[in-house]
């Protein structure tokens, strides 16, 4: 049960078996720190026997192994919302499987959830044209200027938004969008980089401009770990005493995906491993795992360099990763100045 003003269902969808550790940690964090007792639905068509067995022991968790029709790659969110609304849910909150929430969620984020639409801010370090240009790029009249591209790592919608969801799905299923997804990211128009840019364009359009929405603020309410600079040097310094924001989104390197490093250069492997070991995701995940930590052996990964950086900063996760964040931020700014990191058109 949950209040009428808050989500009655929390959901993620995952088809990759190697991401099951993150799915389980997300679900565990929701059980521990999301206020109330909303249903937790894990849509995992390829779920392992181990995940099925664990989910069966959790009264609030439903493991759905039925594939979503018409979805491809990560473009599954409209179909996910439709399925849950068809099942009778009224307000649904989506979480990417690489998201985890911490103890301050109830205090800092939960009050926002009375707003019909809740989304996260895309990292400020990613370059985009104005959001209104994305709306206009689809030929839609602009109804409002959104201040930041939406990051759909977290999205809350209600059953009143079925028309919005249908429009979103229609674009994601279009031949033009699908063909665009096979191009390198820097050759795609900004409005069709992915599902979140399409949703940004829609919510800036005149048709949907009157729907109240709220952004979860990057750096204070959610850390968008798109590389070390995703948790900016300035935010790290501000939060050395206050503690971590309540949500961490492991957008870039996934610490549980050690196999993904095999095709990278030796230097890149070292860099990504260090970034992963110093990521705030790891700290929250260790707290969430608790006595179940042996099930996630990668949570204990720590080489000599990351161990030393933690020791020198008193195990302060914001400060331990600060040198990497400064390096990453400097490289990104240099690339932008040289025109090497720009999205060309809306």
Q: Domains in the chain and their CATH numbers?
A: 1-94 (3.40.50), 115-216 (no CATH), 223-337 (no CATH)
pLDDT for res 344: 64
Picking from 237, 225, 214, the residue whose alpha carbon sits closest to that of residue 281 is 225
Q: Per DSSP, which regions of 128-194 are E strands?
A: 150-158
The predicted structure's pLDDT at residue 71: 75
The whole-number pLDDT of residue 243 equals 86
pLDDT of 279: 95
CA neighbours closer than 13 Å in the CB half-sphere of residue 125? 26
Q: What is the pLDDT of residue 259?
A: 66
Task: Print burial letters for 279-306: b (CB count within 10 Å at least 16), e (below 16).
Answer: bbbbbbbebbbeeeeeebeebeeeeeeb
| Tens digit of each residue's pLDDT, the chain (346 residues) | 456 689 999 999 999 999 999 999 999 999 999 999 999 999 999 999 999 999 999 999 999 999 998 877 789 999 999 999 999 999 999 999 999 999 999 999 999 999 999 999 999 988 899 999 999 999 999 999 999 999 999 999 999 999 999 999 999 999 999 999 999 888 899 999 999 999 999 999 999 999 999 999 999 999 999 999 999 999 999 998 888 999 999 998 899 987 666 677 888 888 888 999 999 999 999 999 999 999 999 999 888 999 999 999 999 999 999 999 999 999 998 888 887 776 668 8
> What is the predicted pLDDT for the residue at 1?
44
- pLDDT for res 269: 86
Q: Identify the helix (H) or strand (E) that includes residue 224.
A: strand 222-224
* pLDDT tens column, 21-52: 999 999 999 999 999 999 999 999 999 999 99
How is the chain split among helix, strand and coil, in percent rounded to 5?
45, 15, 40
Q: What is the pLDDT of residue 262?
A: 65
What pLDDT, on the 0 to 100 scale, is given for residue 214? 98
How far does CA 257 lie from the centroid of its chain?
Answer: 16
| pLDDT score for 319 | 95
Residues 124, 151 contacting (CB under 8 angstroms): no
Interatomic CA distance for residues 41 and 33, integer angstroms:
16
Please report, for residues 13, 55, 78, 243, 313, the alpha-carbon distance to residue 74 in angstroms, rounded to integers and kept in the order given.
Answer: 9, 23, 11, 32, 37
54-105 pLDDT, tens digit per residue, is 999 999 999 999 999 887 778 999 999 999 999 999 999 999 999 999 999 9
What pLDDT does 302 receive?
A: 87
Please state, for a pLDDT cut of 90, what percent of the chain lies above it: 83
**pTM for the full model?**
0.94
């Amino acid at each position: 049960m949950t209040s009428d003003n808050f989500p009655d269902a929390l959901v993620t969808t995952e088809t990759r078996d190697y991401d099951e550790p993150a799915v389980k940690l997300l679900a565990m964090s929701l059980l521990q720190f999301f206020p109330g007792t909303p249903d937790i639905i894990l849509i995992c068509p390829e779920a392992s026997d181990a995940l099925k067995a664990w989910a069966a022991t959790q009264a609030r968790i439903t493991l759905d192994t039925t594939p979503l029709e018409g979805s491809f790659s990560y473009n599954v969110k409209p179909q996910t919302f439709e399925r849950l609304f068809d099942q009778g849910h009224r307000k649904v909150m989506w979480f990417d499987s690489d998201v985890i929430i911490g103890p301050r969620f109830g205090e800092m984020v939960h009050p926002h959830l009375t707003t019909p639409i809740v989304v996260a801010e895309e990292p400020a370090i990613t370059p985009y044209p104005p959001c209104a240009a994305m709306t206009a790029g689809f030929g839609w009249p602009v109804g409002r200027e959104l201040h930041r591209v939406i990051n759909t790592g977290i999205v809350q919608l209600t059953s009143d938004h079925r028309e919005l969801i249908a429009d979103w799905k229609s674009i994601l299923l279009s031949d033009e969008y699908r063909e665009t997804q096979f191009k390198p990211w820097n050759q795609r128009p900004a409005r069709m980089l992915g599902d979140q840019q399409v949703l940004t364009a829609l919510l800036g359009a005149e048709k949907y401009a009157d729907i109240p929405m709220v952004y979860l603020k990057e750096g204070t309410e959610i850390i968008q770990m798109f590389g070390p600079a995703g948790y900016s040097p300035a935010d790290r310094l501000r939060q050395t005493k206050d503690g971590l924001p309540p949500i961490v989104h492991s957008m870039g390197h996934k610490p549980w995906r050690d196999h993904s490093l095999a095709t990278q250069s030796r230097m890149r492997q070292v860099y990504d491993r260090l970034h992963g070991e110093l990521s705030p995701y790891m700290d929250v995940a260790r707290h969430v795992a608790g006595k179940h930590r042996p099930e996630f052996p990668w949570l204990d990964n720590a080489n000599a360099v990351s161990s030393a950086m933690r020791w020198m900063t008193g195990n302060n996760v914001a400060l331990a990763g600060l040198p990497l964040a400064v390096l990453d931020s400097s490289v990104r700014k240099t690339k932008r100045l040289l025109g090497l990191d720009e999205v060309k058109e809306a």
